[in-house]
Each structure stands twice: as C-alpha cells, then as structure tokens.
Amino acid sequence: MKFKDINIKTTRSIKKLKNRFFLPAFMRDMKHMGIGGLSGGNKVAIISEGDRFFDSILSSIAKAKKSINLETYIFSSDNVGMLVAQKLSERARAGVEVNVIYDSVGSIAASSQMFSMMREAGVEVIEYHPFVPWRKYWGLSFRDHRKILVVDGVKAFVGGINIGKEYAGNKYKGDSWRDTHVMVEGPAVKDIQYFFMENWYRNGGAVMNAGLYFPDIKKTDDKLLMVLCARSRRNVRPVHESYISAIKNARQTIYITNAYFIPDARIFRNLVRAAERGVDVRLLLPGKSDIAFVKLASMYLYKRYLKHNIRIFEYQRSILHAKTAVIDGVWSTVGSSNLDRRSFRKNLEMNVAVLDQEFGEEMESMFLRDLEKSREIILAELQRRSLYLFLLEWLCYRFRNFF
C-alpha cells in the first residue's frame, strides 16, 4: 500500500473516532426534545444540477405505476413547468393517482390554464392557502415552502428546487440557479409520504387508498436519515433544533450554504461559540440574490461574523438558492428551510438530515467546489462601505420580520 493511501486511511479512521462523540450527543438532544423521524437502511443521492434534477423527476414520473405526490412552493407555467404538468397529466390519464399541492403566493404568476389542464386530465390539485382580502394580511403569511415529490411510495425527492426554468441548465434553457436536492430510497420515504398526506388532508384533499401510497419498503443501503419539518405538534421546531444541536456539538467544521441567511439569536450565539472553541465555521451566501431586501438584511450581520472568525463567502456563478449544511463531515442537511424567522415560524418546510460519514464527505466536497466559484468577504472591505449602504442594511435588518 502506498504512503498516500495509508495517510488517507489513517485520516478517515481518526475522523471516525472523533465522530463517535458527535452522533451520540446529537441523538440525545433529539430524543430529549421528542424529535423522531429517524430511519436506517436508506439510499441518498445528491442532485446539485438543475438539468439532472428535472431529468430525474421527469423519468420517475414517467415510470410511475400507482401514485405521484408533488408538493411545491413555485409551480411555474414556463417551458419547464408546462413539461412537468404535461407529464403528470399523461400519468393521470394512464390511471396513476396524481396529487399536487402548490402554494398560492409562490405560484401567483403561474397560468391558471396549466392547473385546469391537469385537473381535466384527472390530477387532483390543491392550492395552498389562497390569499383573500378578508384574512389578516390577506393570508400572505404561513406559506407552503416545501419541495417534495414521492413516486409510488418508494422514491422521494426533497430539497430546495422549485418547478421552474430558473433552476434548469442549458438542456431546458434555464438560468442555472445553484440549488441542491436529494433523492431518497428506503424506509425514510414513508416519513416523507406521511408529511405530504397530512398536509393533503388538512387542506381538504380527497381520501386516498393508503395501500397505493405506503407499500412495504425494504432497506436499500446503509444511510441513517431523519425527516424533519419546521414545526411539530409539541410546538418544537425540528429543523431549527437539529441545526442548533449539530452546531453545539461540532468539533471540527461547520459548512453552511443558505440562500436567505438571517439567523436568530440562538443560532448566532452557537456559531460564535463554535468558532471560539476552534471550529472552522464557513458560510456560503449569495453574491447575487433574487430578493435584494433579504440580501441587504443578511449583510448587516457580516461584520459580527467576521469579528468572531466566522468566514463568509459569496457565490458568484449564478443566484444561490440552496439550503444545505454539513457539520464535522458526519451530519448533513438538505431541504427547503432557510435560516431565517419565516422558515422556522411561518412556513411549512422539510429537510432531511443524513447521519453518515461517506455522505458527509460528498457534501463537504460539494461545498468546497462551490467555494472555488465564490469570493471571500474580508473585514477591511466591510469597514470601507459607504454610510448609505450601512443604513440600508440596518433598515432592512430591522424590518426583516415583516417579510
């Protein structure tokens, strides 16, 4: 065996030894707060390119035999959205039970004709929380921000990618936004399916034949996975608490990629404490954003992070929309939840947390590749910014809770 191979093997062995302290502490925290959704024997694949994502879901939809459940914040009626709608309609005509939940605010620009086409083909469609003038704030709060697709109850897709060409690449003539999804196969699919069904029934969906949606699922690999929502019935916030526990127990690295990063005081304090005890904390945030207000609010805290040795990088290649993290190379999360008040307190969200070193190494590699396409923010640069920009950042940050 070559010296290089021995060195790599030794490094991994040391890392595994260190991770033995992380996972038990994290699992104790989850058990103490009553956060479940843990299952083993899963296969999890990262999807970080838009064209590959749409290839994967279109192929899975085309092969569906019994059922398709799609839940999305944005369902655009552009070329990509229409293609997905047509494929769903084709399967519905072929006798497959197809159910769609789309958010009324997220999909406000979509053509009603697209949804009518799906309904006429036999697709059951629910518009989540239509906003109306007689509701408080016209019903604009409490949105369905999830991005879920479950096919035949055995394969699921979870992440940050909506149905629209913004996320697609050259193949689908898209804008190549940077985002991440995962494809899950194995027992955890039942938990993802359950969350969809719960939302479906809460919003007046037709009663379904459970046999079509919850088949027996065998173990497909060895990945340990938790399916996490934004809020539980016990008034616990599973996604939020899982982040805090993972950050609190970190000993080596914290790599966070987030599109709308305005963390609350608890997450901020735990990131600072992690950096103070020598953890390598890096934040990958958008250099370009589709929501300028949120980017300015996020920038207001840059100086505080940098003063506590938390490194900040801004992605330059395209708009960054991903919501992922990897901590100590063993805890990873991919999903729809941003690190902001809206995601934790107002929206329906779903993340998966993967507790696996091999998967964590894939996530770390993806993060480091993204850093190569990013620009590091330096404290001296922030100190030179204009008073006008500083005041604008302050104003956006102060009013962040209204959006």
Please identify every residue annotated as catalytic.
145, 147, 152, 321, 323, 328
Distance (Å, whole) CA 329 – CA 365: 10
Distance (Å, whole) CA 51 – CA 48: 9
Give, in order, the Cα–Cα distances in Å from 203 to each of 59, 96, 144, 206, 207.
Answer: 29, 21, 11, 9, 11
- Please name the residues in contact with 173: beta carbons below 8 A apart, sequence gap of 6 or more: 79, 165
CB atoms within 10 A of CB 318: 20
Distance (Å, whole) CA 237 – CA 215: 29
Helix axis angle, 265-276 to 238-249, nearest 10°: 20
Residue 46: strand, helix, or coil: strand
* E strand map for 22-173: 38-47, 67-72, 97-103, 124-128, 147-151, 155-159
Angle at CA of residue 330, ends 326 and 332, nearest 5°: 35
β-bridge pairing 280-286 and 311-315: parallel
- CA Rg value for the chain: 21
H/E/C letters for each residue in 175-187? CCCECCEEEEECC
Distance (Å, whole) CA 337 – CA 227: 12
For 105-124, the DSSP string reads: TTTTTS-HHHHHHHHHHT-E
CB-based contact 236:34 (threshold 8 Å): yes
